[in-house]
Homo-oligomer: A and B are copies of this chain.
Amino acid sequence: MAVLSLCLAHGNTFFFSIMTKLIVVAFLLLHTSDSSSSSSSSAPGAAGMLEPLFQYIDDHQNQFVQRLKEWVAVQSDSGDHTKWGEVERILNMTAVRIQEMGGTVEFADVGTHQLPSGETVLLPPVILAEFEKDPKKATLCIYGHVDVQPAKMEDGWTTDPFNLTEIKGNLYGRGATDNKGPVLAWLHAVETYQAIEKEIPMNIKLIIEGLEEVGSYGLLELTRKRNDSFFADVDFIVISDNVWATRTPALTYGTRGSSYFFVEVDGPKLDFHSGVYGGSIQEPMSDLIALLGSLLDHTGKILVPGVTDDVAPLTEDERKLYDNISFDLEEMKSVAGVKHFLQDTKEGVLMARWRNPSLSIHGIQGAFSEPGTKTVIPKQVTGKFSIRHVPNMDPPDVERKVKAHLQQVFSTLKSPNRLRVTATVGAKPWVANLKDPQYVAGQRAVREVFGVDPELIREGSTIPIAQNFQEETGKSVMMLPIGGHDDGEHSQNEKISRYNYIEGTKLFAAYFYELSLLQ
């Protein structure tokens, strides 16, 4: 840390910025080539305590990667309810692993769910698990999920998404970073304490679900039901279901909420030949295009009246948090492969992603979507879009406004077709208190493992349970990501680097220790 102090004394911010980056790069290189040196932290007493844990993790990294490979091979895509059998399979594998480690597992029933089609389906259970309890210790409850987003080779993957493949230090596979890798890293951190016969300084509980990617059906109700039992002795809830914002490790203090909308336009009895009926029928597809086209303009501004009215104003304190993020606009353009973002500045882009609402149109179901040509007038089409909520937007209020807006636009089309707008998820945004002990422990643990201060960031995507846990249980909630900023969760070629996966396991082991010191 001596070099860093010297730079600060110099007072040249450009020089400081360059030097900081060099230091970070030096650390990353150092950790990649010899990650066992990562315990060279300045935190008093920690090094000796943590060194054997880190050594065990380094020594067993191939075994940890192999276990991730086994988990990634399970196609637990929760977006398609016909594949929930695979979701149940990965939940069983998770339970077996916890039991092998001496934990107790309950498969908590979370009831049924009505699909947009009207069909009612039985939900996969949620795992509630715990390891042996010592009343003298504080209790940390870890949340994770083992379901994944859809993935197919045809989407443009360069490796089989369900066969974890290591290329140049990166582990490619669906779920590698979102969220099977981090869930395993937590289990491996516990396993490490057990293996070297060091007492885990916290009581550990686990909540592992299989429906996060579709909105954690039933989890909120389960949290409410178990507030006086499972959650009663929990002191902290920690979630590792997101990624760093840059190359620097991060702690996350906020997430956006989201609502997912289905805009169904239902017209003729059958799909028709556009030659036969084209020109005489008001086509559901052109109605839908007009409806979707009314949602936002080319600057990304949401055009649904009133939807952004409740967005919290930016305070000076909040604005300052953005100064310290080592986000490089040019590099991010290159990573994303775009000529420019909708905003011109680093702060503008970060705020657009983290603290401002957004609307994305995902696709259309029922229209012709395959390669080639088909001259069809689809009889029924369903547009799909979602809105990301930020404080202080209220999802039910947003849904009402969206529905009213779409009905209003539809009325101007004077269409003989039928419109049905439905919404799912409705997850609230979340913001945490940065003075909470978890954030102090998290910062210390990052310093232990990575030798740098973490960036304090928000997350643009939705982890609804962060807000739900905080609101329902009243407990402290923190998000402690280990995935890299370029992991591509939900995208083709999702990966986690071997470095992040293994150092992330060390981070979790160190975090147990640092958090226990604050009790």
Contacts and interface: CB of A to CB of B under 8 A. Distances in A.
Contact of A272 (B150, B276, B373, B491): B491
B416 A80 contact: no
A343 B364 CA distance: 28
Given A298-B287, A338-B267, A363-B285, A278 B371 contact: no
Contact of A278 (B79, B276, B388, B491): B388
A416 B299 CA distance: 11
Interface in A330-377: 335-343, 349, 352-353, 356-365, 367-377
Interface in A239-286: 243, 256, 258, 260, 267-283, 285-286
Contacts of A258: 275, 375
A438 interface: no
Copies of this protein in the complex: 2
A288 to B, nearest CB: 9
A98 to B, nearest CB: 28
Given A342-B279, A368-B362, A492 B271 contact: yes
Given A289-B293, A372-B81, A384-B373, A360 B274 contact: yes
Contacts of A150: 370, 372, 374
A305 to B, nearest CB: 18
A454 interface: no
Interface stretch (A25-33, A106-114, A180-188, A458-466): A458-466
A61 interface: no
A378 B357 contact: no
A268 B79 contact: no
A101 interface: no
Given A363-B378, A375-B362, A281 B368 contact: no
A338 B376 CA distance: 16
Contact of A370 (B341, B360, B365, B368): B365
A234 interface: no
A195 interface: no
A362 B376 contact: yes
Contacts of A358: 274, 278-280
A417 B81 CA distance: 34
A216 interface: no
Contacts of A285: 360-363
A363 B372 contact: no
A399 interface: no
Contacts of A49: none
28 contacts: A149-B374, A156-B270, A214-B373, A258-B375, A268-B338, A269-B335, A273-B461, A278-B353, A278-B460, A279-B357, A280-B343, A281-B336, A283-B360, A285-B362, A285-B363, A286-B295, A289-B289, A289-B361, A298-B415, A363-B364, A363-B367, A363-B368, A363-B369, A363-B374, A364-B364, A364-B367, A374-B384, A375-B461
- Nearest first, the 4 closest Cβ-Cβ pairs linking A and B are A275-B461, A269-B337, A279-B358, A363-B368
